[in-house]
Structure 1
């Protein structure tokens, strides 16, 4: 059984895959799969550095994890605001013309926005973060 790490463009390990099916196919240019079979200390969030002849992996500091989380939080909130600008269902709710489905979507959107805003209040932050799933 081999172990592969998915390394994103930002040189962060975002997925570990144990398989006997060989190296997964690289798809988009913003990540690659690297064989890490036998690497003693590797995990999600580890920093990956390539220096000939191979990769090294280092555990991120707490501050690095906090910085990563803040970057992702801002990215998710920006995506949510962009969605709302293109789908102004909240205005329909405000003026009383929204369907029940649109009212439910508006509530789910607001709950999502609050949950993303408050990820830093989770008990094991920044080591474990349960990112909310966008309703849109």
Structure 2
């Protein structure tokens, strides 16, 4: 899996990991840099290109109050998803052929929610503006 940093106005505004070419994941007009080796990069790091080699420097985004708020909100929402799916045992019911049509629809809605939740960092205003998906 490769790690990429999107650069906007000289700062890292998004970080993404994928097995696919980054151009398959995001519009071609965005500027992404592959993060290689043990390079440390985080949101709002300054991105510097020196003779074709990218380096990243600055106070990490996650230390800011906005970063802490985002992490708390994300953790709370993810905990609700995990608890709901686990408590209902929907995956086991489907795997064992015991799920009703309503169980299957509920599980599908949760899977769609989890995908939408995992892609909030692709939203245009991220991280300053986030539209969280509604939990089913």
Q: TM-score, normalised by structure 1?
A: 0.49
TM-score, reference length from structure 2 = 0.49
